[in-house]
Structure 1
Amino acid sequence: MPPTRCLIAACLLSGSQPAAEAAPPPSDPVIGWARVEFDASGITRAEAGGLADIEAGRALTVDDPVRIASVSKLVIALAAARLVEEGAIDLRDDVSRHLGWRLRNPHFPDDAITLRTLLDHRAGIRDDAGYALPLDVDLEQWMAQPGAWDSDHPPGYFTYANLNFPVIAAVFEGATGERFDRLMARTVFEPIGLDACFNWTTCSENARERAVVLYDSDGAAIRDTQRFIAEDCPAIPASDGSCDHESYVLARNGAAFSPQGGLRISARDLARIGMLFLTRGAGTDFAFMNRHFRELALIPMLYSRRRAPITENGESEDGFYCRYNHGVHTLNRDGGACDDALFEGDAVYSGHAGSAYGVRSGLWISHEAGRGVAYFATGLPDELQPGASAFSAVEERLARGGGIETYAPESDD
């Protein structure tokens, strides 16, 4: 399975069917899970099970925020749409103008890197150099490492890479003069009314108290315990272990607040984002759902129809990625080398999946059928029971509503 997985235009998303009658294959048990189905008028089904915090014995609910992993990229794509509307950025511009330094694949120095190619995972960036930069590390120097670039393919070739998103965060900062986590609060969370945040920096005290603890498959806490939230650095500490935000320079790092996966959000609020996309903002008072956003939202679907599948020009991760454009993962359903049938039936879904720190998550929307689903589960092993597709069995159950088995390891304390 791919590591952290990873929308701009979920409002283009097409077709789905109600939960399948036949249950998906048996899956791994989880420590906690939440699942919310919705349509254009609101939430149609909300359910959760297991524990949010083993030590406290606190049951998990659909209102408890979790580190949602690469579904975070959905929200960053939404922020990109907002910044385009504000005139701060253009998807087609060379991002070097916002970074203040020249960003190029050294193997293809004549090809400009644009925000569009970064969102598409087609800029040639690779994760071999790593993507978790400490507070005091300089992104320009980091990108000079050989492992940060594809030496074999020119821009346009798809390879999913988390490092694209620290670069995008730095571009946002250079274009606006705002720190990434605060910019996300201003452009997305506050207008929609979400109590969500990156790395806990802008969430309320109530959200912190309701945090879903992340566990490995043995029940050992990995992060987001109450002790972790109160005492640990809200960014990636500097190389000497310090956590002084004065060492963080705008547009020179981008990774400190984990843009590739560090969004903390509840299943209910994730579903609210899905409903916003599903309705294209119709009937809402969200100030940024205007003509510019809607035009931008059409781009991924147009590209998905025109471009060859990733299996013909990119790394599909054994058929997991078939079409991916502007931050949208579209489940292809056209057979061939693709194996991305997370849902049963002939409908097409678009959205995003996530996987990190024992969490599997997803937000998927069907524009044709007018419905969608948001979900996550915790306490999972790295290697999962396979499903009938390139997705795992537990992801298929969460997506389709097949029933989830939970377990509760004893607390170490």
Structure 2
Amino acid sequence: MMGARGIYYAAMAVAAMMVSGCAPDKGLGTTAQADGNIRPANVQVDFTADRITSATVVGDAGVAGRPVTIDDPARVASISKLVVSIAVMRLVEQGTVDLDRDVSGYLGWRVRNPAFPDTPVTLRALLSHQSGLRDEIDYIVPLDGKLEAVLANPKAWDARHPPGTYFSYANINSPLIASVMEGATGERFDRLMARLVLTPLGLDACYNWGAGCSDARRAQAVTLLRPNGDLARDAAMDGPDPCAVYPASDGSCDVEKLYQLGRNGSAFSPQGGLRISARDLAKIGQLLLRDGAPLLTPESFAEMIGPAWTFDGRNGDNDKGYFTSYGLGVHWLTDNNGNRWFGHVGEAYSLRAGFWINPAERRGFYRYVTMVDEFSAVGHCFDRCP
């Protein structure tokens, strides 16, 4: 059976084909970006609550002759989920959403596992991957599509375990979380993320090149290449991206016309589409080292990091030991010395990344590498990246 990350990579291949209908990423699967002189990027920043203590920067930003820097934004894959969780907890503090309420009430359409029609799905279950949703179907919804139709497919759900009782990592949770955020606020997901997290922290960052990034930010992106030089994501370009979301089923990309709030949370890629520099992600790490300040109360922060789930041998799919404990958008691990770290991994489009916080030692780090074989052995990007 294909593991959680194997399913993810298959979905990424589908996503790449969809995005290829959009101008900036035409040529996916070709060698248009290939250049034997391009070196893989290898970037790491170490930080405490008040400063970056060290930085290692090697390689190119996916373009020959353009050395990568800690200020270049890169698509950080599933680390995006942790940042979404910060925004959700801000909405919880404001009384806009409730972690334990049936999310159907925010959406105007019913969310149910067909095998457990009387059991509501909650934000807590979605954020902690205990919702019962599974990546057995394509969670990348075209701009003119509806998530409701996707979730009506029984294959999207675990038929054996009711929501809230079993952990299984699934990217499809994130589009539903984004839709709930939109339904509760009447505001588009990318704009919410900018308003709630990115702009208050002074970050030049965004989801799928939406709100939060400056006009020139797209041109500074790290282009993600496969090991053979094929384009994986974010082709080099000047100026803004003409299609910052997954295009419609006919290849068009009129976000203002086609996007419907609360109907398709996948458009801005909440599961993996955050574009952010190493320097700016370190600022989010510093917030985590300050127990959520200035955006969260200590109580909300503690609830977010949890953990909300810990493997007991039968209460989840631990993916052969990869998952042992998880909060609300937060992955926990224990290093070889017994130290506990929380954060998240990022694995997509030939990028591998790890963003980890040691709460006891009050320090953290973020590292990523590019041009990695997507089907090579995976890890937490903790002591090293593949």
Shared fold per TM-score greater than 0.5: yes
Residues 1:68 and 2:37 are matched in the alignment: no
1:9 counterpart residue number: none
**Superposition RMSD in Å:** 2.1
- Any idea what the Cα deviations from partners look like across 1:178-225, whole Å, max 9, x if unmatched? 000011000001100000001112211332221100111111122212
Equivalent residues in 2 for 1:6-405, closer than 5 Å: 31-55=40-64, 57-155=65-163, 156-202=165-211, 203-227=213-237, 230=240, 232-245=242-255, 246-281=257-292, 286=294, 288-289=295-296, 293-299=297-303, 303=307, 308-309=310-311, 311-331=313-333, 333=334, 343-384=335-376, 386=377, 391=379, 396-398=383-385
Q: In terms of mean alpha carbon deviation, does 189-198 or 232-241 score higher? A: 232-241
Contact persistence 2:73–2:221 (CA under 8 A): yes
Distance in 1 (CA, whole Å) between partners of 2:313 and 2:214 is 43
Distance in 2 (CA, whole Å) between partners of 1:300 and 1:189 is 18
Distance in 1 (CA, whole Å) between partners of 2:153 and 2:225 is 32
Moved over 6 A (4+): none
Distance in 2 (CA, whole Å) between partners of 1:86 and 1:139 is 26
Structure with more contact order per residue of length (Cα contacts < 8 Å, sep ≥ 6) = 1
Amino acid in the other structure paired with 2:317? E
Q: Secondary structure at the match of 1:205?
A: coil
Contact persistence 2:46–2:52 (CA under 8 A): yes
- Any idea what the Cα deviations from partners look like across 1:143-172, whole Å, max 9, x if unmatched? 101221111222211110000000000000
Distance in 1 (CA, whole Å) between partners of 2:222 and 2:276 is 10
Amino acid in the other structure paired with 2:74? V
Q: TM-score, normalised by structure 1?
A: 0.80
Q: Secondary structure at the match of 1:251?
A: coil
Distance in 1 (CA, whole Å) between partners of 2:375 and 2:141 is 26
Distance in 1 (CA, whole Å) between partners of 2:97 and 2:39 is 41
Distance in 1 (CA, whole Å) between partners of 2:162 and 2:43 is 41
**Count of paired positions:** 351
User: CA, structure 1 residues 320+310, in 2 after alignment: closer, same or farther (shift >3 Å)?
Assistant: farther
Distance in 1 (CA, whole Å) between partners of 2:159 and 2:128 is 18
Contact persistence 2:40–2:62 (CA under 8 A): no
Distance in 2 (CA, whole Å) between partners of 1:69 and 1:147 is 24
Amino acid in the other structure paired with 1:325? G
Q: Secondary structure at the match of 1:92?
A: coil
Amino acid in the other structure paired with 1:396? D
Distance in 2 (CA, whole Å) between partners of 1:316 and 1:74 is 19
How far apart are residue 301 of structure 1 and its match?
A: 5.5
Q: Secondary structure at the match of 2:130?
A: coil
Q: Secondary structure at the match of 1:132?
A: coil
2:21 counterpart residue number: none
Distance in 2 (CA, whole Å) between partners of 1:320 and 1:381 is 19
How far apart are residue 308 of structure 1 and its match?
A: 4.6
Contact persistence 2:216–2:239 (CA under 8 A): no
1:8 counterpart residue number: none
How far apart are residue 231 of structure 1 and its match?
A: 5.5
Q: Secondary structure at the match of 1:264?
A: strand
Distance in 2 (CA, whole Å) between partners of 1:257 and 1:164 is 14
Q: TM-score, normalised by structure 2?
A: 0.86
- Any idea what the Cα deviations from partners look like across 1:98-153, whole Å, max 9, x if unmatched? 11111010100111100000001001001112111001111111110122111122
Amino acid in the other structure paired with 1:46? A
